[in-house]
Structure 1
Amino acid sequence: MLGASNGVSFAAQSTALPFDDIKGNFAEKEIVELVKEGVVNGTGNRRFEPKKNVTRAEFVTMADRLLKLEPVDADMPSFGDVSSKSWYYGWVEAAIQLGIVEGKNKTQFMPAERITRQEAAVLIVRALKVDPGSNSGNNLPYADADKVASWAAPYVLAARTLGLMDGANGTFRPTDAMTRAETAAVLDRVLKDKVWNKAIHAKTNLGLQIGWQNGLTTTQFKEKVSSSNVNTLVPRWFFLENTQVPISNHADSSLLTWAKQNNKKIWAMLGNHSDSELTHQILSDETKRKTVIQKLTGYVKTYGLSGINVDFENVSPDDRLSLTAFISELGTSLRGAGAVLSIDVSPDLGTDWTEAFDYEALGRYADYVVLMGYDEHWDGDPVAGSVSSLPWVESALNRMLSVVPASKTILALPYYTRDWTLQSGGATSEELSLVQQGQRIRSVYYNRTWDANLGQYVLSYNRQGSQHRIWVEDGRSLGLKTMMAAKRGVAGFAYWYIGAETDDIWTSLSNATRYASY
């Protein structure tokens, strides 16, 4: 199988070829090149078996490896016939999440079925993110063009136009199975394209990767960050207070030391306890405002902080000008101390909840604006729905980018969802971390469908006579939002909150960022 190693080092061979059965094969050079790239393996005993047919799982695996993607050990399988214990599970999940491949139907992937030439054309054109258009196949120059499926015809034409696949003796043979040698020849043609070769071998820039601390001890937080993509920590250290010194300090020296040792930045958070009146008292009082700014700047210098993250909720619309003035003054002071200022904002929905945010001004005075891309449907919302559907986040981000530069914009993604109980008088919900979501799903008998419009699975189940629904957040849904934002050139991503995610999420998001860069 593809996943097995040939067990013998190429460098240790006395022959120049890595396999004994490829000399003279039309794809000999391509196979050698793909072995060097880590795209293909042998089948054991120094054999490649170039004429052997390729399964759907094997083709997907090779395509993933070609694109330098990593296998995703998804917390929730996409298909019932792709076992999490199979060698190809992570490779299939990685391709599914990025939209490179689909199942044979809504419930089955059929990993062991031989991949046909027309299916291979579809997959490789999708993998290269080429839009084949809607050509019906009338332009296919093959004697057997009428045998090409309508869904595959545009891709077959695109594969030919791109120089990736062609027929022989005037035919394309759309339903014939792909051999291992043919597959190697197709994949190597991608590598021979200078643009794709450069992109594939470029190092992925993940940008800012910001993680909020919430509900974790310092030890737990450090442990979770260590196994994540996070490069910037946001511990909840400072809060506005109704005291003589209007700011409290909960800095942790052990986290400071650890962050420095592990090359992580700290943007300590300044919160307001979601207290509208307290926030008004401090922001509207120039003396108190200056005291907070002086104290924060002093903490930045004392602790060697890289920045401050302002997280004010429930700010009165009347404090719009005061909040803008505070951010302007704080930003100037922090930059003088060699630190940056970021501020968290909700999507602009034209409500009192966000009226205090002058997005354009905040984008001018802060170094970064963090758009919290969640709570589309919130705790207490009588209408059930997604916490963060793709079109909602995309609309919110587009609106933000109309007034704030992408280089200053950070998109925050949710590591939580809601389990909704649907009732005649309105819905109620329970917040679930992604870890809890997985546990809940595995404990019930459910129906699940992929909603391509929302960019997530919608899952339903019944318990104690009540119907429940979960708009699932997982590597696939979060990856789609990541790719959408990465294409717009945002400065990075933030995650609410560290410790709520399943382990597979970080691989999914790394893959999404890499794939978006192509």
Structure 2
Amino acid sequence: MATAAAVFAAGLLAQGTSADNRLPFHDISNSYARNEIIDLYNKKIIAGTSASSFSPTRSMTRAEFITAMDRLLKLEPVASPVSPYADVAKNAWYYGWIQAAVQLELASGTSATTFAPAKPVTRQEAAVMLAKALKQTGNAAANVITYKDKGQIADWAIPSVAAVHALGLMKGDRSGTFRPTDPMTRQEAASLLARVLKQDGWEAELKAKPNERIAMGWQYGQTTAQYKSTIVKSNVNTLSPRWYFVGSTGAVSDSTDAALVAWANNNGKKIWAMVGNRSDQEATHQLLSSSLARTTAVTQLAARVSQYGIDGLNIDFENVAPADRSAFTKFITQLAAKLHAMGKVLSVDVSPDLGTDWTEAFDYAELGKQADYMVLMGYDEHYGGSLYPGPNASLPYVQKAVKTILKSVSGKKVILALPFYNRDWSLKANGTAASSAFVTLTEQNRLLGSYSLKPKWDASLGQYVVSYSKQSIKHMIWIEDGRSLIAKYNLAVKHGLAGVAYWYIGGESPDIWTSMRNAAKYYDYSFKK
């Protein structure tokens, strides 16, 4: 269907090309779904198969159905460089639409490597896709199905068919059959999607703006101009530039860019300036163990906040000795009191609690009482010094980290930090790590392209995994992309966290922001009855 492809690629067809001036297409006047077709066309949800034809009785392809469903959900097509499907070409008009649905787990292929985009969508496939999209898969019992051909419905489709039947979205024919394996016609699809918009409150929900959550982005390795340029393209509403470092005496180095403060104010962004310790354990010990040094640091940091009119601070102390646990809490307590008296925000970065010395200095419960927000750095599951190669931030690792911190800190105070970087692992013959190279997501994607790699999705990890050889050395990458980041973002939504943060701005590929906008929009839908 080359003509249909061209139509979908262009979006919607120009008005006024119909032989009937009252209709957008010349071939829908006798269709039982004429009004629904017109309405969905005007709402930019469906398009025709040519400039003047809709082809109402033609079968709708899987790609066409996914596209219409995405548009119904107000999603954007995603130009992700990572796809498991060999039959979904990156230059195909439907590539971004399929990616958007797959990343949100709304659609899957006909196999691990094929999607069959041009294959007609069957009625039971459409039921499954729509029930997933509308979050209705667990809302109906199979015994509500009374169709004469119930036995022909695949086991994997029965819960979804029951759900859409209970909602009145899909109906059988006059003979009482569902025809599960029959292709869905384009007019049937129009009727189906139109019924979704007629559900009480659903269309209003689809039009509503997503809930406002914190989306913090750290500045690192970018000039102010580069940082601002990237922020404009993102969903980040809270900036965290690396402006301050505290030394052993409490003296604070100052790299504040007043121009960025003004720009943030003019563009509705908050600034929580980052405060670091340069990962210097001894200097940090001297700072924390001295009442005078702590007071000096608190006084100077508060002065910077007041002088430049910034909204708060983000404390990023790493490599703090376990023995300084109590002293670190005292420092945060003193700083929180000072900032709160000024009406300012204090956030504290903490690593996942692995029961090791690296995280022993973070008293989650006590820090959570003092700080406004705890930023959980959900990465470095495997790091440069790891003996074995592995993912930077697998979904189970992040799930465990979130559940652990929520035992001590309210979810309303937790911000989940997501990685915009990864590692390319070189392996020894025995499977251990020979080395690993730090890569941004852009660099990771360049590697995938240069070696024409075909990643495989590992649902247990929530990531694509790929291997390749270079100079007879085996390499492995546990990929971070829109799909893996969305899976982790969903944790923030499900657990009612305050928001997310990104380390670091500039490490992402441009498609990531489309993926995150889709997630922010879709996960706020409830579709409650």
Question: Which bracket does the TM-score occupy, shorter chain normalised?
Answer: over 0.9
2:476 is the alignment partner of 1:481: no
2:513 is the alignment partner of 1:506: yes
Alignment deviations for residues 440-465 of structure 1 (CA, whole Å, 9 cap, x no partner): 11122545321111101111111212
Amino acid at match of 1:478: L
Structure 2 residue aligned with 1:364? 369
Report how far residue 46 of structure 1 moved.
Answer: 3.5
- The answer as to whether partners of 1:8 and 1:46 remain within 8 angstroms in 2 is no
Report how far residue 357 of structure 1 moved.
Answer: 0.7
Alignment deviations for residues 90-127 of structure 1 (CA, whole Å, 9 cap, x no partner): 10000010010001111111111111111111111111
- The answer as to whether partners of 2:248 and 2:283 remain within 8 angstroms in 1 is yes
Q: 1:6 to 1:289 in 2, by over 3 A?
A: closer
Structure 2 residue aligned with 1:294? 299
Report how far residue 132 of structure 1 moved.
Answer: 4.5
- The answer as to whether partners of 1:377 and 1:387 remain within 8 angstroms in 2 is yes
Report how far residue 437 of structure 1 moved.
Answer: 0.3
Q: 1:364 to 1:131 in 2, by over 3 A?
A: same
Residues 316-325 or 368-377, more deviating: 316-325
Amino acid at match of 1:327: I
Amino acid at match of 1:210: M
Alignment deviations for residues 326-375 of structure 1 (CA, whole Å, 9 cap, x no partner): 11111111122221000000011111111111101111100110000001
What is the aligned-residue RMSD (CA, Å)?
Answer: 2.1
- Which of 385, 403, 410 aligns to 1:405? It is 410
Structure 2 residue aligned with 1:87? 93
- Which of 433, 444, 469 aligns to 1:462? It is 469
Amino acid at match of 2:413: K
Structure 2 residue aligned with 1:241? 247
State how far apart, in whole Å, the 2-side matches of 1:177 and 1:249 are: 66
State how far apart, in whole Å, the 1-side matches of 2:460 and 2:201 are: 31
- Counterpart of 1:80 in 2: which secondary structure? coil
Report how far residue 139 of structure 1 moved.
Answer: 6.7
State how far apart, in whole Å, the 1-side matches of 2:265 and 2:82 are: 36
The TM-score normalised by the length of structure 1 is 0.95
State how far apart, in whole Å, the 2-side matches of 1:66 and 1:124 are: 11
Q: What count of residue pairs does the alignment treat as equivalent?
A: 516
2:257 is the alignment partner of 1:226: no
Alignment of 1:279-318 (within 5 A): 279-318=284-323
- Counterpart of 1:517 in 2: which secondary structure? coil
Structure 2 residue aligned with 1:180? 186
Alignment of 1:260-409 (within 5 A): 260-409=265-414
Q: 1:268 to 1:48 in 2, by over 3 A?
A: same
- Which of 89, 93, 100 aligns to 2:106? It is 100
Structure 2 residue aligned with 1:497? 504
- Counterpart of 1:497 in 2: which secondary structure? strand
- The answer as to whether partners of 1:389 and 1:455 remain within 8 angstroms in 2 is yes
Alignment deviations for residues 212-253 of structure 1 (CA, whole Å, 9 cap, x no partner): 11111222111211211111111111101245x621111112
- Counterpart of 1:333 in 2: which secondary structure? helix
Residues 51-60 or 436-445, more deviating: 436-445
State how far apart, in whole Å, the 1-side matches of 2:17 and 2:87 are: 38
Structure 2 residue aligned with 1:443? 450
- The answer as to whether partners of 1:445 and 1:461 remain within 8 angstroms in 2 is no
Report how far residue 11 of structure 1 moved.
Answer: 13
- The answer as to whether partners of 1:98 and 1:476 remain within 8 angstroms in 2 is yes
Amino acid at match of 2:491: M
- The answer as to whether partners of 2:18 and 2:26 remain within 8 angstroms in 1 is no
Report how far residue 77 of structure 1 moved.
Answer: 2.8
Structure 2 residue aligned with 1:433? 440
2:66 is the alignment partner of 1:31: no
Report how far residue 87 of structure 1 moved.
Answer: 1.3
User: Unmatched 5+ residue regions in structure 2?
Assistant: none
State how far apart, in whole Å, the 2-side matches of 1:278 and 1:39 are: 60
